[in-house]
Amino acid sequence: MGVPMTALRAGAATDVGRVRSNNQDHLLMADPLFAVADGMGGHAGGEVASLTAVEALLAGFDANRTADGLADAVRNANEAVWKRARERTELRGMGTTMTALALVRENGEEALAIVNVGDSRAYLLRDGDLDQLTDDHSVPKELERAGRLSAEEAAVHPQHNVLTRALGIEPEVEVDCFRVIPYRGDRILLASDGLFNEVSDKDIASVLRRMDDPDEAARELVAMAKEHGGNDNITVVVVDVVDDDDRAGRASAALADEPTTQWAPGAATATALRAAQGDG
């Protein structure tokens, strides 16, 4: 077992927006673990759900710092929110999204593990290109992936904010899990829908390319979402890979003529591994 070589730096910002009276989003900055949770539910429910989820995620991840451990921690968070929702009538029906990123070490290799439930998102900016890593668990996006709606139809679907998966709704939940090999210069964005419903991917990418400091980039993205309407709470976490584990020669490979194929844009590369327990 070697010493972890990959180093991260991160920045974040969150804002209630221009319309909502309270901020039901929560974020977690606990290097090497980062998360965004977007709570839903009347009264205080949404805030309680997202806070309960990030606290349970942190506690669960500490027990097993692998990709599987991270997915387990999300399932623990689901159970924590579900139990809490049944304790008090005013919390009944609350739920939350969860998108999290952790640097993990498995079999001597470091990886970025990304987990998702709901319609918050993780993006990867690599070599100037921005790609969405996660799938939204919403009614129109599920229909689009099934080939029953075009992207244009999905974009204007009346149920765009109806989730097909969230934490706290059922005693068990299916968790999407992806692994990305980290390269120096990679930038990962975690965001609640209050960002990308207001700001286009093109404009998000422009800010992420332009602003080196992750805190400044996060604040700028939140400010843009507010300028463009701020109809929802906005939460942004920006995580930079400032050094990578190049002992296997990956850094020099990345500079060679042939592009590395360990991660290329698209679903085929972010190794989709559906967490085993979530399938049952």
**Residues in touch with Mn ion (CB under 5 A):** 38, 192-194, 232
Nearest distance, CB of residue 233 and Mn ion, angstroms: 6
Quick check: 29 and 9 in contact, CB under 8 A?
no
How many whole angstroms separate alpha carbon 263 and alpha carbon 189? 16
- Smallest distance, Mn ion to C-beta of residue 33, A: 21
Residue nearer to Mn ion on the CB measure, 119 or 220: 119
The CB-of-258 to Mn ion minimum distance in angstroms stands at 41
- Closest to Mn ion by CB, 140 vs 194, is 194
**Smallest distance from Mn ion to CB 229, Å:** 13
Other beta carbons less than 10 A from residue 5's beta carbon = 13
Q: Using the 8-state DSSP alphabet, how is residue 259 labeled?
A: P
Measured from the CB atom, is 41 or 60 closer to Mn ion? 41
Q: Which is nearer to Mn ion, 136 or 142 (CB)?
A: 136
Question: Terminus-to-terminus CA distance in the chain, angstroms?
Answer: 33
In the bound complex, what is the minimum distance in angstroms from residue 119's beta carbon to Mn ion?
8
Residue closer to Mn ion by CB (options 38, 240) is 38
Of the candidates 241, 260, 239, which has an alpha carbon nearest to the alpha carbon of residue 249? 260
66: closest CA among 28, 110, 6, 124?
A: 110
Indicate if the alpha-carbon torsion angle 59, 63, 67, 72 is positive or negative.
Answer: negative
| Inter-residue contact 78 to 118 (CB < 8 Å) | no
CB-nearer residue toward Mn ion: 32 or 230: 230
Closest distance of CB 133 from Mn ion, Å: 19
Q: Which two tokens stand for residue 40?
A: 């839903």
Helices (H) and strands (E) counted in the chain, each on its own, are 9, 11
CB proximity list for 148: less than 8 A, separation 6 or greater: none
Structural contact between residues 109 and 103, judged by C-beta atoms closer than 8 angstroms: no
What's the rounded Cα separation, in Å, for the pair 167 and 190?
A: 17
C-beta of 64 vs 197, nearer to Mn ion: 197
Shortest distance, position 265 Cβ to Mn ion, whole Å: 26
Tokens found for residue 280: 């049952």
